[in-house]
Amino acid sequence: MVNYTRLFPILCMNLKVFLKSDSNISTLLILCYILDKDLKAGVILIVTMTAMEAYKRFWTQGLNLHDRARRKEFWVPAGIHLLLYFMAYIVIGMYYQLENEHIYMTVNLIVNMILIIPMFSVTFRRLQDLSMPGWLALIVPVCYIPTDLPVDLLNVNIQLFADVIHLFVTIILMIILTFDGTEGPNQYGHDPKEEIDELNPRKY
């Protein structure tokens, strides 16, 4: 969906030129020229995005590390997957014993394998929308590595400290991802909230 409110001042300005002209024919030509010039220059339009479109882009842009992503592109899929995750655990708990950790570990592994690449991609692009290097998204998985090592390879106290660091870094990253992106274009691309080519709008 496109918000045409930014086109209104341009149309009013061109209409004002038309009304002030003495010759309707010549003014009409001037009006057409101005409109053509405005359109070729690329009027910035505001592009709105539905939750369904945001979730669709989570999968279709799963390998894209070159653009920017809006907050909705990150939080809508994250919320949906978190809800489905808990629902799956409830269903599993109804049919299997709660002490059966093998089932939970299997489900957790399958879900992580499916989501890890598109989730990293959208986090990468979300950071770029904030004018931050997308590779900062690697901090969370890197901090998680020590927490998953066997106890005999890592001291219990060190592993506990690694758990705290991992939790702290994750919370900080989640807070950062709630911020609005950089207004206008930055070094990673144009603002995903704006569409430059109003004659051929990009599908979101």
Flag whether pLDDT at 181 surpasses 80: yes
Flag whether pLDDT at 19 surpasses 90: no
Contact between residue 66 and residue 121 where contact means Cβ atoms under 8 Å apart:
no
pTM of the full structure: 0.69
Give me the pLDDT at residue 110, please: 87
Flag whether pLDDT at 176 surpasses 90: yes
Does 24 or 51 have the greater pLDDT score? 51
Which helix (H) or strand (E) covers residue 39, if one does?
helix 24-41
Q: Could you tell me the pLDDT band of residue 172, with boundaries at 50, 70 and 90? A: very high
Q: What is the pLDDT of residues 84-121, one digit of tens each?
A: 988 887 877 777 665 566 777 787 788 889 999 999 99
Angstrom distance (rounded) from CA 54 to CA 81: 13
Ordered by start, the domain boundaries in the chain are 2-43, 51-130, 131-178
Residue that is written with structure tokens 């090592």 in the block: 149
The edge-to-edge listing of strands for the beta sheet with 45-47 is: 2-3, 45-47, 194-195
Per-residue buried b or exposed e for 157-194, using 16+ beta carbons within 10 Å of the residue's own CB: eebeebeeebeeeeeebeeebeeebbeeebebeebbbe
Give me the pLDDT at residue 141, please: 87
